[in-house]
Structure 1
Amino acid sequence: MSRELKTGIIAIVIIALFIWGYNFLKGQNLFDTSSRNFKVEYSNIAGLTESSLVTINGLKVGKVTNIEFNRAEGKRGHLIVSFVIEKDIQFSKKSVVKIYSPSPLGGSNLAIIPEYEGEEAISGDVLKGEVETSLFTSIGERLDPIQTKLEDIMVSADSLFNNVNNILDTNTQNSLKNSVQSLEFTLAEVKKTMLSINGILDTSSSDLKESIKNTKVITENFAKVSDTLANVNIGGIISKTEMTLDKANSILEGVKSGEGTLGKLITDEELYNNMSSATKELEYLLREMKLHPKRFVHFSLFGKKAKPYTPSSEELEEANK
């Protein structure tokens, strides 16, 4: 064998080993005839790289072999991910290939969500792709509207503080300082007043206690009086009072109508006139007996006869009046 032939054979072997090693590093085994190649399209691969793992139900079944841009019209910017499955597992074309992140600090991998109904997937098929929402992506999606609202609030707060700064000029600041000083003085006076009130309350606490005690005694006495009044037969008393008043009314009606001595005395005008005349005559008689007792009484130790009384001219005049 010539030297040139040996050199050519060695070169072909080296090239073959290089091609096999390159594909092996990419996750493709050229000597494994059971391997199958699939493709899936994504608008965002979320950190997926070549040689990332492909799993089914958590089991490693292959690797990502290539990631390239889709150059078709209307699909520009989308990414086509090629991967190889080394395990002999069958699933349908309805299966979904989802990008997921096993840990917050690790890279992304592919997980095949297998479906077994429908047409079986074969090497070269394009499967449906999805991207699983990670913890940080979910937090970011929820924080985006909050961030927008916070930005609006910060703008409003900045405008508010600018307006406050414009309002709080030197004169306003001095007025506020004076108001605060006045408020401090007022609070000090209120404190003094409260101390004085506390002193008054302390000195009068004994009087208050005595007043409360007296009030308690009065309340107890009032309760006793109330019990006594409650036990008294007020209805009977009222009935007797009404009977007494009825009798008094009947007596007064009789007096008014002239019944009985008192009624006749009050209503009989002639009787009243006679009694008045008799009273005058009696008064005149008593006055005569006082002024001229000899006209009515005669007293003699020696038995002399009484001389007949001869009235004087004055008495006669007075009698004729």
Structure 2
Amino acid sequence: MKISNEAKVGILAIAAILVLVLGFNFLKGKKVFGKSPVLYAEFSNLGALQKSNPVKINGLDIGTAYDFRPKDKEVSAVIVEIHLTRDVVIPKDSKAFIEGNPLGISSIVISKGQSNAFLGSGDTLRTVPTGGLLADLREQVAPTMQRINTTLDTLTRAISSVNSIFDPVTNRNLQTMIANLAVSSAGLQRILSDQTGALAQSLNNMNSVTGNLARNNEAITHTIRNVETTTSNLANAHIKEAVAALENTINELKGAAGGLRTTMDKLQSPNGTLGAMMNDRKLYDQLNRVALSLEILLDDVRIHPKRYVNISVFGGKGKTDPLTSPAAKDTIPVKR
């Protein structure tokens, strides 16, 4: 049987319409074949939520927002019809809220509960009031704004305290301090001057010293070598033997000093002869008298020798009295 061209065009048109309807339903989140489970959620404000926006549990898309309708004529709330695209179970105490996203589309997020009973098709989800994206931003920014306000209050009090501290006297002191700082900075600039500053002169002197060292490098090297030679000679010298000999000499001197000290102790002791002579005053007086008598005798012999050596040819009888005290040493005997 031959099919006419008109029949072929009609069949293609019907197929195209069928594909279009199925694709449209698929894009809307409906099941193409079979009926999808339906849940309802009631929100006071949809925000930026649109039809076909996703419905998520733990970040997983489980359905779409299929249709919106007002709860009453005053639109006190909006009922959202949710078509599930996945075969999941949702506890009855689960709660839904609208999550705004500034970089994408809004979505309905279901927070799972702990109940062992599950929602069926046609049941209504509990919802949590939400203020939308601006409310979320306000909630996140509120603590920061509070801290900023506290900081501004503290700064205001600090500025007030500073203003109360900076009285006219303090301001004059600050001005004087700034002037002194200016004078000090000028002095420091003069010190750090490249041409006439003290630091420049010190650096020039240091350059001169280092130049002299560089010019006398050879002499310094010779001096160091002489010092090395001297230290080497000292290291090779018999210092230990010399020190030992010096110690022996010191020990001998100590022994001699000990013997001399013993002799002096014996001389000073009253038990010895010399000690007795040195320490006995009576013996000193007797020796002094003996010396005086001996001096008188010698003077008498010198002055009157004839009294002790009497040689007379003619029998002369001339005599004088003996001396009783020492005669003057410049006395010349008179011849008779």
Structure 2 SS opposite 1:83: strand
Summarize the Cα distance change of 1:183–1:256 in structure 2 as closer, same or farther, 3 Å threshold: same
Distance, in Å, in 1 between the alignment partners of 2:114 and 2:84 is 18
Summarize the Cα distance change of 1:122–1:262 in structure 2 as closer, same or farther, 3 Å threshold: same
Structural RMSD (CA): 5.9
Distance, in Å, in 2 between the alignment partners of 1:117 and 1:63 is 24
Aligned partner (choices 140, 143, 146) of residue 144 of structure 2:
146
The equivalent of 2:37 in structure 1 is 36
The equivalent of 1:65 in structure 2 is 67
2:286 maps to amino acid: N
Summarize the Cα distance change of 1:68–1:289 in structure 2 as closer, same or farther, 3 Å threshold: farther
C-alpha deviation, 1:109, in angstroms: 1.0
TM-score, normalised relative to structure 2: 0.51
> Are 1:48 and 2:49 counterparts?
yes
Distance, in Å, in 1 between the alignment partners of 2:139 and 2:314 is 158
C-alpha deviation, 1:142, in angstroms: 5.1
Structure 2 SS opposite 1:121: coil
> Are 1:277 and 2:276 counterparts?
no
Provide the identity percentage. 18
Aligned partner (choices 100, 107, 110) of residue 109 of structure 1:
107
Summarize the Cα distance change of 1:307–1:202 in structure 2 as closer, same or farther, 3 Å threshold: farther
> Are 1:261 and 2:273 counterparts?
yes
The equivalent of 1:122 in structure 2 is 120
Distance, in Å, in 2 between the alignment partners of 1:310 and 1:45 is 181
Summarize the Cα distance change of 1:40–1:171 in structure 2 as closer, same or farther, 3 Å threshold: same
1:259 maps to amino acid: N
Deviations 1:72-110 (A, max 9, x none): xxxx98x55422315362414345545445x53222112
Gaps of 5+ in 1: 1-19, 210-216
Aligned partner (choices 153, 156, 169) of residue 155 of structure 1:
153
Structure 1 SS opposite 2:68: strand
Distance, in Å, in 2 between the alignment partners of 1:280 and 1:135 is 144
C-alpha deviation, 1:287, in angstroms: 4.3
Distance, in Å, in 1 between the alignment partners of 2:306 and 2:325 is 16
TM-score, normalised relative to structure 1: 0.53
After superposition, residues 82-97 of structure 1 pair within 5 angstroms as 82-87=80-85, 89-94=87-92, 95=94, 97=96
Q: Kindly tell me the number of residue pairs found equivalent between the two proteins.
A: 263
1:91 maps to amino acid: V
Q: Contact (CA 8 Å) 1:90, 1:120: kept in 2 or not?
A: no
Structure 2 SS opposite 1:62: strand
Structure 2 SS opposite 1:63: strand
Summarize the Cα distance change of 1:106–1:273 in structure 2 as closer, same or farther, 3 Å threshold: same
Deviations 1:45-78 (A, max 9, x none): 564344422346634633242265799xxxx98x
